[in-house]
Amino acid sequence: MPAYLDSILAAHRAAAAEDRRDPGAAVDEARELCLGEGADGRRDFVGALVRGREERGMAVISEIKRRSPSKGELDPTLDPAMVAVDYESGGSSCLSVLTDEAFFGGSRADLVAARAACALPVLRKDFTVSALDVCDARTMGADAVLLIVAALDDTELTSFLGLARELGLAALVEVHDEPELERALAVGAVLIGVNQRDLRTFEVDRERAVRMGERMPAGVVAVAESGIRDADDVSRLASAGYSGVLVGETLVRSADRSAAVDGLLGARA
């Protein structure tokens, strides 16, 4: 099977190596933006997940993406602003917006447009491999950044998690197995995503999140990612202790995205 993660990371690390910006200046710019924006301009990503769980039994993070390496084109002409409005009207708690261009067809502009069109907190979904990536998430207006444990060593994971917190960003720390969960907990992650998709083969194991849910300690806000198809899946994951689900392909391919989100929540209303 193709090693998707390896090729994607190689491309992102090559781009990071060619980025000639001063990391210190980028951090200062992002920090100043954070301070100048104040609390009024921020959207509480974790708080939205907790409220969604309390009010509807589960929070849905609805994803905006045009294509994926394994599935190909999903909706290459989608309007991120319109999709964001549909997701919000259907009951989504948060958005996830792909900004990777080469592999997923996303962009910074997609995130900016989606966030401006709704009141939902927004995750920048991308492959974070440098401090500049964290700063870029802040400056493009994201409320949360993705940190994939399989993509980072412990020094990077600790550094990027600390920088995200300094810049007012939530950090969704993504794991795929028990050793990665231990690494996430060791660096103090409090928002942890369990991706049921193996990022090296892109195959989905729909039992992975249930198994991993048993190992989540109290105080962690847990999110199940990938392979979530319907309200029965959502109900099962809620019973396993998850506060949120991140759903992409099911929603993007739907003819009525608002109704699709509501349908996922139907069994938990």
Segment 88-121, tens digit of pLDDT: 999 999 999 999 999 999 999 999 999 999 999 9
Evaluate if residue 42 carries a pLDDT over 60: yes
CB 266 within 8 A of CB 58: no
Evaluate if residue 269 carries a pLDDT over 70: no
| Annotated active-site residue in 62, 65, 180, 258 | 65
Domain ranges of the chain: 4-268
- Among 142-146, 155-159, 199-203, 236-240, the minimum mean pLDDT is found in 199-203
pTM for the model stands at 0.93
Active site annotation includes 63: yes
CATH node for 4-268: 3.20.20.70
Active site annotation includes 178: no
* Torsion angles phi and psi, residue 200, rounded to 5: -95, -30
Active site annotation includes 235: no
Average of per-residue pLDDT across 226-234: 91
| Annotated active-site residue in 62, 226, 243, 258 | 226
How many C-beta neighbours within 10 Å does residue 207 have?
11
Evaluate if residue 79 carries a pLDDT over 60: yes
- The SS3 of residue 60 is strand
Active site annotation includes 225: yes
Active site annotation includes 258: no
| Cβ neighbours of residue 40 closer than 8 Å, sequence gap 6 or more | none
State how far the Cα of 152 lies from the Cα of 116, in Å rounded to an integer.
31
| Annotated active-site residue in 63, 68, 92, 130 | 63
- The SS3 of residue 120 is coil
Active site annotation includes 65: yes
CB 124 within 8 A of CB 111: yes
Q: Is the Cα torsion angle 242, 150, 12, 76 positive or negative in sign?
A: negative
Q: Please report, for residues 64, 96, 164, 237, 242, the alpha-carbon distance to residue 246 in angstroms, rounded to integers and kept in the order given.
A: 11, 8, 20, 11, 11
State how far the Cα of 121 lies from the Cα of 106, in Å rounded to an integer.
18
